A and B are shown apart, each in its own frame.
Chain A
């Protein structure tokens, strides 16, 4: 049984998020996914630069579940794979807020870097 330790904490209290955690939240922002689908989504979104192993993935999911950022939806078989039943995970309302807050934080950092011309100017 997991306990939600994050009850009452503002989303900003969770920042900054570890990169793997933010990737998982980003993956789940599209909807509920099972573990392997999350791994595939992360690898695709990062163009293969971030590869989560099962240990890293489920370790992060365990922490996210305990913090109340993610919840289990139900257990069912993946229609694409059609094998054993898998657990599906989805973002909670808090999880959305934290992902949004982290995105804003990173966006502010990127804009700062752009102002200093560390990266290219965004096309108008």
Chain B
């Protein structure tokens, strides 16, 4: 192997671009050195190797840094594309949050505030996207930080958001913040924002715990989802919850393996009490339920038994006054219907008065409002609760001596209360 060939191999230590630009010249110079020096001496080769060993790493580092500059330019191009996407997604977020406004109006306080915060977060993300496009990095950072705070506050207040909105709300600002800081040296604010998010995520997970208390709901086959009114007792036990299901008839069930993730409630139903040997209904083997969170605050979904039979289950959190349109009119015995029949003096929201006459007609319970001069059916929801036909609220009766003595309910505009007068 000739000396020049060895030197050509040594040249591979240099960055490819440098080699392409100066390699032929360096070989010429080496050839001159060989001509003027003694290529067979150790000293000659020692000087060649020392030269390569000293200069090649430095040039490699320079090439890597230059590549870093190119990467920075690439990141900025990506940032512009991301900013355009952000503007569109934020517009979608604003629309999505605003479209939930009608649902929010049915809930007081926290839900409404959460929606307002969600809209504010989307607007801030929108502004951040525009700022990035205008190359205003600092305003973009501030807007993204503020958006993140608003979004986290909204999520903590009320978990109404879908997974897609949460991706926009959390992942997009965090990703953009990291990208905005990445090409430059890391800053305290950037690090602090990441730490803040890290600290808040466990809080967010905790926010997805079922509220304790008495839940209501319905269960039934897929063609009659509200066949059986049921109640749930949700009790806190340390960091977890214990839930018991009480059907209107039959044995109680226990909810096991409760997981609430991405607004979907999953659990397995088991009979609460051990069964005698040989008596093994489906519940003993576990019924798997998947209940996505609904816009009205309920968890509604399907349960699948070990035999593959599916049924529908609906869980309404404590304090829910909303009756779903899907809830059917449950059957009542004639004696039960008679216990509600009578005339009730009603106090309406804002101090209005009404007289409600509840009567039975062709086996159905109906109510006539003298205030509205209107008659409508009362649809039994179970547990002493009725939904006036065409409404989205329930009235719950109280009993004394097997006879309804009054009722109360919460409409969109406030509380109504009735007292039997006759």
Contact = CB atoms under 8 A, between A and B. Distances in A.
Interface of A: 35-36, 39, 51-59, 61-62, 81, 83-84, 86-87
A35 B29 contact: yes
Given A35-B29, A36-B28, A84-B28, A56 B22 contact: no
A70 to B, nearest CB: 13
B32 A59 contact: no
B51 A54 contact: yes
B18 interface: yes
Nearest to A53: B51
A36 to B, nearest CB: 4
Given A53-B50, A55-B55, A55-B56, A62 B22 contact: yes
Can you list the 10 inter-chain pairs with the closest CB atoms, starting with the nearest? Answer: A53-B51, A55-B55, A54-B26, A58-B22, A36-B32, A54-B29, A59-B55, A55-B51, A36-B29, A56-B55
Contacts of A36: 28-29, 32-33
Contact of A55 (B14, B28, B32): B14
Interface band, chain B: 20 to 34
B348 interface: no
29 contacts: A35-B26, A36-B29, A36-B33, A39-B29, A52-B51, A53-B48, A53-B50, A54-B25, A54-B26, A54-B29, A54-B30, A55-B14, A55-B26, A55-B51, A55-B52, A55-B59, A56-B51, A56-B54, A56-B55, A58-B22, A58-B25, A58-B26, A58-B29, A59-B59, A62-B18, A62-B21, A81-B32, A83-B28, A86-B28
A53 B14 CA distance: 14
Interface in B19-61: 21-22, 25-26, 28-30, 32-33, 47-48, 50-52, 54-56, 58-59
Given A55-B59, A56-B55, 20 more contacts: A36-B32, A39-B29, A51-B47, A52-B51, A53-B50, A53-B51, A54-B30, A54-B33, A55-B55, A56-B54, A57-B29, A58-B18, A58-B25, A58-B26, A59-B58, A61-B22, A62-B21, A62-B22, A81-B32, A86-B25
Nearest to B55: A55
Interface of B: 14, 18, 21-22, 25-26, 28-30, 32-33, 47-48, 50-52, 54-56, 58-59
Given A62-B18, A81-B32, A55 B54 contact: yes
Contacts of B48: 53
Residue of A52, A53, A54, A61 contacting most chain B CB atoms (<10 Å): A54
A24 to B, nearest CB: 13
Nearest to B53: A55
Contacts of A84: 28
Contacts of A57: 29
Contacts of B14: 55
Contacts of A39: 29
B51 A35 contact: no
A55 B58 CA distance: 10
Contacts of A54: 25-26, 29-30, 33, 51
A87 B21 contact: no
B118 to A, nearest CB: 48
A52 B29 CA distance: 11
Nearest to A51: B47
Residue of A36, A53, A62, A83 contacting most chain B CB atoms (<10 Å): A53
A58 B48 CA distance: 14
A87 to B, nearest CB: 6
Contacts of A53: 47-48, 50-52, 54-55
Nearest to A75: B25
A100 B289 CA distance: 84
Contacts of B54: 53, 55-56
B25 A87 contact: yes
Contacts of B32: 36, 81
